[in-house]
Amino acid sequence: MERSLRLRWKSNNSFAGDVVRLAGRNRGNPTPVAPLRAVGRDWEVWLGYREVWTLLTGVERFVFSSADLTIFFAIAQSEDFQQILRAEWTGQSKDVDGWSFKPSDAGHPHWQIDAIEVFRQDRELEAARQLLRETEPREFGEPGPVSIPFPPWFEIARMHLASGMRPWLDDLIAHGPSDLAAVRAWVVKTVYLLNIELARLP
């Protein structure tokens, strides 16, 4: 990953530049990603970032909606991106009952682990390959191999692992940013932390 990072900020609050690529997300539209660092042998880590602000009608003011940093792994030069981990910060949204976090019982900001989705896809692919390898014909109505259900931890990406919770100070599990500077500080310091932790990989 010797390329220089000539990045610029797009008006839609994401990355742009000659090193930016598009990575498919597990859910939602593809997102622009930029190279972050090399890890292991022949692997690269790419970083995606999205930030959303909502215009309040009638007051001409933007309010923070969400920001997320997503880590993707890819074999060097392959651009076959695998979504591994997310740090997300969701702000409060307004409905008929007023302002609240959605879901109300999740920590904000939080981490979500996406690597299991890659494992599940690998398992489904291997099951399909096994069916193709079967050469012996079966009698009609003969029972097939027993299907083993996916373990519950295959859905671990549903969990919101709070990163801003301070149970020794208060009982709040959700915190919204105070201003734009708080969002920027969260992004910069989270990327800094991720870079340190990724350097621990062999």
Q: Where are the domains of the chain?
A: 7-116+157-198
The answer, yes or no, to whether residue 94 has pLDDT greater than 90, is no
The answer, yes or no, to whether residue 131 has pLDDT greater than 80, is no
Question: What percent of the chain is predicted at pLDDT more than 90?
Answer: 49
Q: Which of 59-63, 70-74, 114-118, 140-144 has the highest mean pLDDT?
A: 70-74
Residue 40 confidence (pLDDT): 87
Q: Calculate the average pLDDT of the chain.
A: 83
Torsion sign over Cα 147, 151, 90, 183: negative
- With H, G, I as helix, E, B as strand and everything else as coil, classify residue 158: helix
The answer, yes or no, to whether residue 154 has pLDDT greater than 80, is no
The tens digit of pLDDT for each residue in 83-93 reads 999 999 999 99
The tens digit of pLDDT for each residue in 156-196 reads 888 899 998 888 888 889 999 999 999 999 999 999 999 99
- b/e sequence 40-73, b meaning 16+ C-beta within 10 Å: eeebbbbbbbbbebeeeeeeeeeebebbbbbbbb
Residue 111 confidence (pLDDT): 96
51: confidence class by pLDDT, cuts 50, 70, 90: very high
Residue 180 confidence (pLDDT): 92
Query: Which carries the bigger pLDDT value, residue 163 or residue 139?
Result: 163
Q: Which residues pair with 95 in a beta bridge?
A: 98
Question: Six-digit token pair at 170?
Answer: 């208060």
